[in-house]
Homo-oligomer: A and B are copies of this chain.
Amino acid sequence: MDRDTTDRRILRTKRMLRQALTELMEEKGFEALTVSSLTERADINRGTFYIHYQDKYDLLDKCEDEILKEFERIVREGFPTQQNDYRKLVQTDPLPHILKLVEYLSDNSAFLKTILGPKGDPSFQEKLKDLMKKNLTVLIEQRLSDSPIPTDYLIAYVSSANLGVIQHWLKSGMNESPREIALILSRLTILGPGIEAGLN
């Protein structure tokens, strides 16, 4: 079996480091933290860090990828297959897979709040938007009639907008329930800029 994913010592080391990363990012942002501070906080020898990760950027990458993988899984499994008109549904209920996504955001809010905040990682924002774009492309292109606005700009607009809502939620203290946010996202995506852009 793959020793790398079963040996409890390895799992512990990685778990501690990811925990330390989340904590230290919250405290002083990603750029201000060092490998030394990371290993000290995790109570891990500094040399051990370099067995598993190249540098702090590598550690961050791995953590981000874990989150993104889970996002993709949720979207893949829950994506609406049949082509419905959601404009009625969305008056009162969020799209189910969007709700699951927001719930997952909520579970990882400590990490995400920092990584999507002003001291965070803009490349993660882009990865997240790319994920949304992939799905929006399907959703939008099949319903697009003749918009005076290029499709790629429309998609950039909506995906960035969704990200903005999520960022605002995390930043302002998550006062709304995941369901409320999922509903906001669903409504804005389905009903929002669509009308103006010439969707039918």
Contact = CB atoms under 8 A, between A and B. Distances in A.
Contacts of A110: none
Interface residues of A, number: 40
Contacts of A144: none
A153 B125 contact: no
Contact of A165 (B119, B157, B168, B192): B157
A196 interface: yes
B160 A163 contact: yes
Interface string A123-140: 101100100000000000
Interface stretch (A1-9, A96-104, A183-191): A183-191
Q: Which of A119, A125, A148, A188 has the most CB atoms of chain B within a 10 A radius of its CB?
A: A188
Contacts of A120: 122
A164 B161 contact: yes
A117 to B, nearest CB: 7
A149 interface: yes
Contacts of A119: 122-123
Given A157-B161, A157-B164, A192-B192, 7 more contacts: A31-B31, A129-B164, A149-B188, A152-B168, A156-B165, A160-B168, A188-B196
Closest 9 CB pairs of A and B: A160-B164, A161-B161, A156-B168, A118-B123, A192-B193, A191-B196, A157-B161, A118-B126, A156-B164
Interface of A: 31, 117-123, 125-126, 129, 148-150, 152-153, 156-165, 167-169, 172, 184, 187-188, 191-197
21 contacts: A31-B31, A117-B126, A118-B123, A121-B122, A148-B187, A149-B187, A149-B188, A150-B184, A153-B168, A156-B164, A156-B165, A156-B167, A157-B161, A157-B188, A158-B161, A160-B164, A160-B165, A187-B196, A193-B196, A195-B195, A195-B196
